[in-house]
A = this chain, B = another copy of it.
Amino acid sequence: MKNPQEVFAEFLVKERLKVTSQRNTILDVFLESKEHYSPEELYLKVKEKDPSVGQATVYRTLKLLIDSGIADVVDFADGVSRYELGYGKEHHDHLICEKCNKNIEILDAAIESAQEKVAKAHNFQLTRHKMYLYGICSDCSKK
């Protein structure tokens, strides 16, 4: 399987866009991150590697990462948009703690098949879905 860097480079060529050091730096920082960065957070991390990069470039590059299928938007309902690596990762849903923002990735066959069933009942051809379960995690409910 190709690595994300290759995928991105190929995407840029296909779209007749240019491979630049800024775009590569942003992708690298994005890939290194374990958290779900907001554009602002990503921007700050990128600046550690290359202080000359501007915010706008981060926003613009994030869009390209989404278009190329490398990044996905995650909705933590905390007011900021967040992103995660989508390319090469299995589909998953999210279990989010409303107190500490902990995020657990889940994949449940029963849910997935039930979703397929409902879609079929409505004659929908399912292309994708988003599911977020919000609650209080065990750590936070103890406090």
Contacts and interface: CB of A to CB of B under 8 A. Distances in A.
Contacts of A130: 75, 77, 130-132, 134
A21 to B, nearest CB: 31
Contacts of A122: 95, 104, 106, 137-138
B126 A133 contact: yes
A117 B73 CA distance: 26
How many copies of the chain does the oligomer comprise?
A: 2
B129 A133 contact: yes
B123 A127 contact: no
Interface residues of A, number: 34
A123 B73 CA distance: 26
A134 B128 contact: yes
Interface stretch (A50-58, A62-70, A107-115): A107-115
Contacts of A128: 134-135
A129 B127 contact: no
For the complex of A and B, 6 pairs with smallest distance between CB atoms: A123-B138, A110-B114, A126-B135, A124-B135, A131-B131, A111-B114
